[in-house]
Amino acid sequence: MRAGTWEDNVSDNILIALTVLLCVIGGLALRADFRTRTQAWLASRGEAVTTAASIAALIGNRPADDVQQIALRRLRCIRLDLISVDELASPQPDPLLFNKSSRCQLGQIDAFISHSWRDDPHEKWAMMQAWRARFKAEHSREPLVWLDKACIEQGDIDANLMCLPVFLAGCSTLLVVYGPTYLSRVWCVTELFTFLQMGASADRIELLLPGPPGPSSPGSAELAVLTAPAASCAAGTPRLPLRSPSPSKSQSVAGEATIASHYSVEGILGKAAARLSMGGNRQSGGFARASTARGSNGSLAVRVSDMTAGSR
């Protein structure tokens, strides 16, 4: 999913197909054969999961009912307290960690953890533990989460990739564990965009930010989302530049796939960050307020300011 074995085993064709598909899924949904193929899902699983299954069926070039059965067999979750900081240090397969996870049903998972393997494991661990403490205080139990390393069977990466949209739809919350490299990782942006395409509300997204900013950026941390470097994958896979969609030019899919990051970031990260200021949600070490601004070149930035509780 990100740097490491998960990405190394994903074929170029599937990766490009996924990113391009997310930009054109709306048009495909108008086709009669597309609607017929997913009608059963609509009746039994609801609109969000139906869309997820349709996306997954197109990625895997298999009927939606086949995808449903495969996803149900492969969907797993793990209690967050069973994940150690050392297990966040590397994306390399860990059979012991995988064995800690268990099969589950759609809707049973509390959060899909979206993160970059290139970000600091200790910072991610601290953010996840702070979220875990809040969850336990509210629900009086340990949260059940989906984490790629713990819940993906490394022996059949492509089949798990096909099921990824269904895995997303089967989780109550998208937990964005944000770090310096998050927006440069193509799979992180793909997860966000897929979640949006399923019609998910910003209320189902929780944006976790690192602790209080250092001296170099007192009081704030800016996510320059549209001016981020080109999203990158593992060595040997194509670099997919993130750019704002242009209504006047058709997007090329030959050699350079494009993700509509403008909409995914505005519609997801922007709204999720805005929720921090509305609710005063406590992040690591303090509160966070958010605002959006557009630069002279038209790029969007989401500014999140961290403050101690006493200075709010």
d(CA 281, CA 270) in angstroms, rounded, equals: 15
Which residue's entry shows tokens 């900081």? 85
d(CA 95, CA 109) in angstroms, rounded, equals: 21
Residue bearing the bigger pLDDT, 7 or 112:
112
pLDDT digits (tens, 9 = 90+) for 221-275: 333 332 233 444 443 333 233 333 333 333 433 333 333 333 344 444 554 445 4
139-148, 214-223, 259-268: range with lowest mean pLDDT: 214-223
Question: Considering the chain, what is the average pLDDT of its residues?
Answer: 63
The CA–CA distances, whole Å, from 95 to 124, 148, 195, 267 equal 22, 13, 28, 37
pLDDT band at 39 (very low <50, low <70, confident <90, very high): very low
pLDDT band at 130 (very low <50, low <70, confident <90, very high): very high
* Of 16-20, 163-167, 210-214, highest mean pLDDT: 163-167
d(CA 196, CA 270) in angstroms, rounded, equals: 12
pLDDT over threshold 50, residue 78: yes
pLDDT of 206: 87
The CA–CA distances, whole Å, from 142 to 80, 81, 138, 179 equal 7, 7, 10, 24
- For CA atoms 277, 278, 282, 287, the dihedral sign is positive
pLDDT over threshold 60, residue 183: yes
H/E run at residue 284: none
d(CA 29, CA 48) in angstroms, rounded, equals: 13
Which amino acid does the sequence have at 296?
S
Per-domain boundaries in the chain: 5-77+93-210+230-266
Mean pLDDT of 120-143: 96
From the list 312, 291, 294, the residue with the least C-alpha distance to 303 is: 291
d(CA 136, CA 267) in angstroms, rounded, equals: 29
pLDDT of 55: 54
pLDDT over threshold 90, residue 175: yes
Helices (H), the chain: 5-8, 12-28, 32-45, 47-60, 64-74, 95-100, 121-139, 148-151, 157-169, 186-197, 261-264, 271-279
Global pTM? Answer: 0.59
